[in-house]
A = this chain, B = another copy of it.
């Protein structure tokens, strides 16, 4: 049942009031709210996993791992809140001899933006959905969060939301701080509502661009953090190919068919030296051994078939493994040459969301750098290389075009940690300076405010002289550990 525009308006207003009421709570309080959510989701695991399996057809093991990641992620953000990391507290004392003239007392801290809108993805029913990365980043920042449930798993979404809302309420958070909406009209209105201050989105380039343009056309434009499309090319050096060709191909087939290729980090291109007949046969056998499973939705299966068929009819693209159609298609493997992709950039620019990938055969390793220099923005790029190989130029081109560069591993599988960067230049994302995975994701939903010349007692607690929250701060240019200051 779709949320009406009137309902959405009421939901956003309530979330705004809740945000305002919760804006200044202590880190410990906010961390407790997050912890309450994590505990509640953990407790409801079996019920949620059953619903998720029913709606997404994803295997239970995968779903169990995803839920564990989601719960871990919530606790990691709670810990960051406790550490005061999102606050970026910075203090400059009065300095009469400051180089450009006397400096007043000036102190800066981050505040939450307000209400943020979050669009769940189809392919991660937990980690990028109701209480996925964007929602938890928003709550950790101190924002109100209004989440649009993806219609591919509406029952799971609604049940997850009930559990989250109940947990927040029991933990004492203001009513409506987190809420959900359903349906396209409410989703579109979410992007234009005047009290919504930022959007987090994970989905297709087509829908993402539409919503990005809506956000940009508002009387007051808002940031739109969208994760759209990525091909995630993998480059295999001559030496790596010679040393471990079979291992690489086995892992590649495993990575591109994992979860029926329905990952934003699926390797859609593998660059290798010329394939001989024997190697082609190994590959064909590996792909044939993959057990097809049902895709997330029939619509996605139909979209996959269309884009894969277009790809296989492009000039100089050959079929290594044809795969098949339907809701549980056997994987497809295509091949072409470096010369072909340099002539026809469409091969490099079209994401096939599903179990298909392209092997691009090269003659000369220098062609890798040449191709890399023509790539669109990517979430990830990967090299398979041997110890001691100097790949400075190739790595440099990959760094310039992706958010994460991987050495001798596979792009599927994204750890949630401090140094993660899940982003990249357009069209991988609409905001290359930010990440949607890892603790830095919270920065997207914050805004700095400076206080000049304030009496200590009128300052936010994060900025008061005796550091009542015991957080890390930069003081007169020097970072001070919490442990060094009075608690």
Residues of A within 8 A of B (CB): 20, 23-24, 65, 68-69, 72-73, 75-76, 90-92, 98-101, 103-104, 106-108, 111, 113-114, 212-213, 216-217, 220-221, 223, 377, 387, 391, 395-396, 399-400, 402-409, 415-421, 423, 425-427, 430-433, 435, 440, 443-444, 446-455, 458, 472, 474, 476-477, 479, 481
Contacts and interface: CB of A to CB of B under 8 A. Distances in A.
B99 A406 contact: no
B417 A106 contact: yes
Contact of A447 (B420, B432, B449, B476): B432
Contacts of A111: 399-400
A258 to B, nearest CB: 14
Contacts of A477: 418
A430 B221 contact: yes
A131 to B, nearest CB: 15
State the oligomeric state as a number of copies.
2
Contact of A404 (B217, B443, B449): B449
Contact of A420 (B106, B427, B458, B472): B106
Given A99-B72, A448-B440, A92 B223 contact: no
Given A65-B101, A72-B100, A419 B450 contact: yes
Contact of A419 (B91, B377, B479): B91
A420 B20 CA distance: 24
A409 B446 contact: no
User: Shortest 7 CB-CB distances between A and B: which pairs?
Assistant: A216-B216, A421-B450, A72-B100, A108-B419, A90-B419, A220-B426, A72-B99
Contacts of A76: 99
Given A75-B99, A221-B426, A449 B402 contact: yes
A403 B481 contact: no
A212 B406 CA distance: 35
Given A100-B68, A455-B407, A107 B415 contact: no
A23 B392 CA distance: 13
B405 A433 contact: no
A453 B404 CA distance: 11
A409 B212 CA distance: 40
